[in-house]
Chain A
Amino acid sequence: MREKALILNENDIARIIKRISHEILERNKGCENLVFIGIQKRGVPLARRIAKNIEELEDIRLEVGKLDITFYRDDVGQRIKPDIQITDIPFDIKDRDVILVDDVLFTGRTIRAALDAIIDFGRPKSIQLVVLIDRGHRELPIRADYVGKNLPTSLSEFVEVKLKEIDGVDRVAICEAS
């Protein structure tokens, strides 16, 4: 895998998190009814960061869950070696506004799976989607409500997101198979 270009550095990511936090507050007119769910793996630290930002802005405690969508994939037995992560949603999502967070929005299949999974936990009032990168190439009618950066890519490229909590560094790069 050869790196073609650095897209976001640590400061860029911090600014995006701040901006999206404000957008979420603005659109929802506050945060009383919000809960956050990060998609494993890198959606989880992103969800935590946004929630922490809003907690500091609004002086409130917010709930953040983790969701693994392996069991809801539509390609079991086709390609994956299952690498299941923990799912932990220790709160009731019924009638709440769920902020679903993932790192990269690509075909939309992960989000389709996540929507099915969330609805099996209860019936939320709404689900809104946050992604750090939207790289295009959707295969399903799905769009994000809050986008960190729109990044047109070709199918041979790969978006590599690294986050401190998992990878020790904050950066987004675009790579190509070498």
Chain B
Amino acid sequence: MLNTKNILSIDDLSTDDIDTILSNADFFLEVLDREVKKVPALRGKTIVSLFFEPSTRTRTSFEIAGKRLNADVVNFSPSMSSLKKGESIIDTVRTILSMKVDLLIVRHSDSGIPKFISERVNIPVINAGDGTHEHPTQALLDLYTIRKKFGSVEGLKVAIVGDILHSRVAKSNIKLFKKMKMEVILVAPSMLLPEKNYFDEKVKHSIDEVINKVDVLYMLRMQFERQQNRLYPSIREYNRFLSLDIERFRRLKPESIVMHPGPVNRGIEISGEVMDLIDKYPERIKIEEQVSHGLAVRMALIYLMLSLSSEDLDSTRS
């Protein structure tokens, strides 16, 4: 049982909550292997995914997760809505709520919108990524993938490589990994780091300094859509200091794993040659496994949040 009503940030979760979610994810992983990959656990519940920013993977993952639990999942994205007609966010949310919805999943290009919405509704809200703030469910599925591989995660050494400044995935992951007592190293040039290193992590400027020392190499996506200021000079420069190519892949510890939240910019964060090794080394390159684990973790999360009775909901801190 979770001690929080909403999942807006990793800060909302206690280590007990994290353990509850990840332990339950195993049961949902098993459901995905059944002949009928669907259970009636949330029959009659309605989930709305409210995506103000385009997304295919996260939205699809939440949608399939909800449907496998027999909830009705409705996607609502602003291009097809009245937002363009000048309706405010809160009016939109209130309209949706009038249709008796049980859970909201919110993504927005501005940080803090899921929290803003959660303070104005009485149903649980999951943050599916807000601006450069957080993406907590991505971090949970990443931790699940690491836990599945290594068993115990305490003391594991993780390098997070790339555009930390713009990455909400990085922020949620740094918080979560630290909470689980893992060692986090940030690999990025100073212009792709937050002005103040408020995470107090070790910083390296080249992937070569960590490549043979880490248990988990976490590659971030280069976010061209958030790069209006042209903070990075060229792809060649990126390749030289931050990319995972075949030569660097060979220098990784044999029991280490490579992760990426997707979608991968082939030839930028990870070379095409390494990407083509996924089938050959499924124990090493976890990018596709992260996606299927995402489904199981999101099913567990939705199930745990919606199986609370309304009485339980009143007594939890929101």
Contact = CB atoms under 8 A, between A and B. Distances in A.
Contacts of B222: none
Contact of A121 (B34, B306, B309): B34
**Most chain A C-beta atoms within 10 Å of own C-beta, residue among B26, B35, B38:** B35
13 contacts: A71-B40, A71-B41, A72-B40, A72-B41, A80-B307, A82-B24, A82-B304, A84-B24, A85-B27, A86-B26, A88-B30, A120-B34, A121-B35
B300 to A, nearest CB: 9
Nearest to A93: B35
B246 interface: no
A122 B24 CA distance: 24
The 7 A-B residue pairs with the shortest CB-CB distance, nearest first, are A71-B39, A120-B36, A71-B41, A84-B27, A76-B307, A77-B309, A81-B1
Contacts of B24: 82, 84
Q: Main secondary structure on chain A at its contact with chain B?
A: loop
Contacts of B1: 81-82
B192 interface: no
B156 to A, nearest CB: 26
Interface in B140-184: none
Interface residues of A, number: 22
A116 interface: yes
Contacts of B310: 77
Interface in B29-70: 30-31, 34-36, 38-42, 69
Interface string B286-318: 000000000000000001101111100000000
What is the interface residue range for chain B against chain A? 20 to 34
A76 B41 contact: yes
A82 B309 CA distance: 11
Nearest to B38: A120
Interface string A51-82: 00000000000000000101111001111111
A120 B30 contact: no
Nearest to A87: B30
**Most chain B C-beta atoms within 10 Å of own C-beta, residue among A77, A78, A79:** A77
Contacts of B307: 76-77, 80, 82
A71 B309 contact: no
B303 A82 contact: yes
A70 B41 contact: yes
Contacts of A84: 24, 27
A40 to B, nearest CB: 11
Interface in B12-31: 24, 26-27, 30-31
A121 B24 CA distance: 20
A79 B116 CA distance: 31
A86 B39 contact: no
A77 B35 contact: no
B309 A79 contact: yes
Contacts of B26: 86
Contacts of A70: 41
Nearest to A89: B34
